[in-house]
Structure 1
Amino acid sequence: MKYLFSSLLLLSALTSFAQDTKTIKQSGNPIFPGWYADPEAAVFNNKYWVYPTYSAKYKEQVFLDAFSSDDLVKWKKHPHVLDTAAVKWANKAMWAPAIVQKDKKYYLFFGANDIQSDNEVGGIGVAVADKPEGPFKDHLGKPLVDKFHNGAQPIDQFVFKDKDGQYYLIYGGWKHCNIAKLNKDFTGFLPFDDGKIFKEITPDNYVEGPYMFIRNGKYYFMWSEGGWTGPDYSVAYAVSDSPFGPFKRVGKILQQDATIARGAGHHSLIINEKKNKYYIVYHRRPLTETDGNHRETCIDEMKFDADGMILPVKITKEGVKAQKFK
């Protein structure tokens, strides 16, 4: 009886361990707690990173947190990697970060102040740090882009590295999107051959949140459509042979599911080319919430058909399986 009891205890412990192990093999959605939106995903030294907007009233959006993970399941919070105390010209609405690693430095691009005209102070800034968790310091002491060019509000920046190593800033709100060639130290821009600094590449139905990547030699341009507080918020895409387009809209690939969540949009990607894995990181609003700022950061897998077209993403509560980047 003694041995039977011991065996039962061991079996119970093993069962409990197996259940605990099983529970950490799936990310679940949201991937971390709190109201966070506009997530920028990146991979540095085989570790996953997400830099989101702190989703609150504009006057409370005065800092950026970051999150890191080894497996897409367990996430560590790095609070206040950047805040307005480090950026003298910024005072509110610090949002939609984009990050790149270059020459052993980490450059965090961000929007601030939600300017509505060329007469206001604000726009797109750049901060720099020696580590992905910061602390980040203002790189320029002023905005990188502080005016409306081609009708684009200077927000929602994304930094794209082309095949030749050239970095571009792709950005824009108010239904206009620009691309500009960054100089080597990210302190300004280089003119295109025609002398222009900002080229408009706006596709049909574009609203905000641009993202670009290369797959099989093709340039995939993605963006958000609809209103960010509404149920119609979604992600669409186009494909071109050039980062300058033309980009003809193909269709939506991410949108709400009335049984899961509303307003799925403003995304980025985690791409593991070795494993041919693509993960879309985005925000959405729980069905229980009516406050526009109550948004959560989520992740789901993104797949392609045989012709290279992006298949519609099914948003889930389960998220994705644990996955090392290596």
Structure 2
Amino acid sequence: MRLGRFIGGAVLAACVSFGALAAPPPGHAGNPVFPGWYADPEAAIFDSAYWIYPTTSLPYAQQNHFDAFSSPDLVHWTKHADVLSMRDIPWAKKALWAPALVKKDGKYYFFFAANDIQNDKEVGGIGVAVADKPDGPFKDLIGKPLIGAFHNGAQPIDQFVFRDDDGTYYMIYGGWKHANIVKLKPDFTGVEPMADGTVFKEITPAPEYVEGPLMFKRNGKYYFMWSEGGWTGPDYSVAYAVGDSVTGPFRRVGKVLQQDPKIATGAGHHSLFHVAKDDSWYIVYHRHPLGDTNGNHRETSIDELHFAADGSILPVKMTRDGVEAKSL
């Protein structure tokens, strides 16, 4: 049992964590970083604060809203409850998950997956909401899914929004072992053709790809990360590839995050914090407590991410202590 941590001046309820029994050293966040079952964390830095927007990891019937968490230092986290709710998305009926957040022109845009559609006859897919503040309240932007159908075999879920150096916003998304990239309209109300006329371009990086894509650029190279394995099982993991353009082709390098039988299992569906002032990187991900076989019991954790001299990502050391405090 991990004791509640002081967050926003109040002690949050304790949560069960079979793999995290000892208190972290002073000045460390400890993993999980906040109590509760939360998964698919989206990491963002807004207005000199760290933000995490996770999936509420409950059975689909109860997965009907999103909470957010903010921190000045990666250690002390404040919960912002119900920043986006199904009641504010007229077309969403079940299963909200996998947030992606972007700040643009003074507005905050919240991309999400809803309804877990299985074919093009069902209503659902990837939506977008907007707010004036990072803690919401967010409201549905267009009254329908932004992407509501299958293209190139990709289930419309698990979106990530990437801003390239020229200011163009792309969305990388897809489940069912297929990944697509689309170019977003500047107002995020739809998608538009890329330079070659393609709208939905498949960029599945490797046969092992399953879901949870993420992209960033470092030293002129595009890094494409994703999750492999089954999200309810112990072998869920994160791998990556590298390419020379936003659309690839990408060369799979290998896994960088996977279970540690001494710490936790099922580590995946991640995001990243990048602190530009000293080029430090942190991986934010969910994992299953040791000994717990309930697939929905996922906790959000943060550990350091490091690069080798050649630009390759070093294997992540999963910890119970978490990261040290770092102010922005």
Map of 1:306 onto structure 2: 309
Map of 1:242 onto structure 2: 245
1:299 aligned counterpart, secondary structure: strand
Task: Specify which of 118, 137, 150 is matched with residue 152 of structure 2.
Answer: 150
TM-aligned CA deviation for residue 119 of structure 1: 0.3
| Alpha-carbon distance between aligned partners in 2 of 1:41 and 1:28, rounded to the nearest angstrom | 17
2:224 aligned counterpart, secondary structure: strand
Map of 1:294 onto structure 2: 297
Map of 1:222 onto structure 2: 225
Map of 1:37 onto structure 2: 39
| Alpha-carbon distance between aligned partners in 2 of 1:288 and 1:129, rounded to the nearest angstrom | 40
Give the alignment's Cα RMSD to 1 decimal.
Answer: 0.9
Higher helix share: 1
1:59 aligned counterpart, secondary structure: helix
| Alpha-carbon distance between aligned partners in 1 of 2:295 and 2:82, rounded to the nearest angstrom | 23
TM-aligned CA deviation for residue 190 of structure 1: 1.4
| Alpha-carbon distance between aligned partners in 1 of 2:81 and 2:25, rounded to the nearest angstrom | 26
Name stretches of at least 5 consecutive residues in structure 1 with no aligned partner. Answer: 1-21
- Is 1:251 the counterpart of 2:251? The answer is no
- Is 1:56 the counterpart of 2:36? The answer is no
TM-score (norm 2): 0.92
- Amino acid of the residue matched to residue 216 of structure 2? F
2:61 aligned counterpart, secondary structure: helix
Map of 2:86 onto structure 1: 84
TM-aligned CA deviation for residue 309 of structure 1: 0.3
Name stretches of at least 5 consecutive residues in structure 2 with no aligned partner. Answer: 1-23
Matches within 5 A, 1:6-45: 23-45=25-47
TM-aligned CA deviation for residue 24 of structure 1: 4.7
Map of 1:206 onto structure 2: 209
Matches within 5 A, 1:71-110: 71-110=73-112
TM-aligned CA deviation for residue 46 of structure 1: 1.2
- Amino acid of the residue matched to residue 198 of structure 1? F
| Alpha-carbon distance between aligned partners in 1 of 2:164 and 2:280, rounded to the nearest angstrom | 20
1:66 aligned counterpart, secondary structure: strand
TM-score (norm 1): 0.92
| Alpha-carbon distance between aligned partners in 1 of 2:201 and 2:230, rounded to the nearest angstrom | 25
The alignment covers a number of residue pairs equal to: 304
- Is 1:118 the counterpart of 2:120? The answer is yes
TM-aligned CA deviation for residue 154 of structure 1: 0.3
TM-aligned CA deviation for residue 51 of structure 1: 0.1
TM-aligned CA deviation for residue 248 of structure 1: 1.3
2:87 aligned counterpart, secondary structure: helix
| Alpha-carbon distance between aligned partners in 2 of 1:163 and 1:242, rounded to the nearest angstrom | 11
Cα pair distance change 1:173/1:250, threshold 3 Å: same
Q: Cα deviations across residues 52-89 of structure 1 (Å, max 9, x unaligned)?
A: 00001011100000000000001000000001000010
TM-aligned CA deviation for residue 193 of structure 1: 2.7
TM-aligned CA deviation for residue 288 of structure 1: 2.7
1:179 aligned counterpart, secondary structure: strand
Map of 1:12 onto structure 2: none
2:29 aligned counterpart, secondary structure: coil
Given that residues 62 and 83 in structure 1 are in contact (C-alpha distance below 8 angstroms), is that contact kept between their aligned partners in structure 2? yes
| Alpha-carbon distance between aligned partners in 1 of 2:243 and 2:196, rounded to the nearest angstrom | 21
- Amino acid of the residue matched to residue 170 of structure 2? Y
1:126 aligned counterpart, secondary structure: strand
Higher-Rg member (1/2): 1
TM-aligned CA deviation for residue 283 of structure 1: 0.1
Map of 1:10 onto structure 2: none
| Alpha-carbon distance between aligned partners in 2 of 1:293 and 1:225, rounded to the nearest angstrom | 17
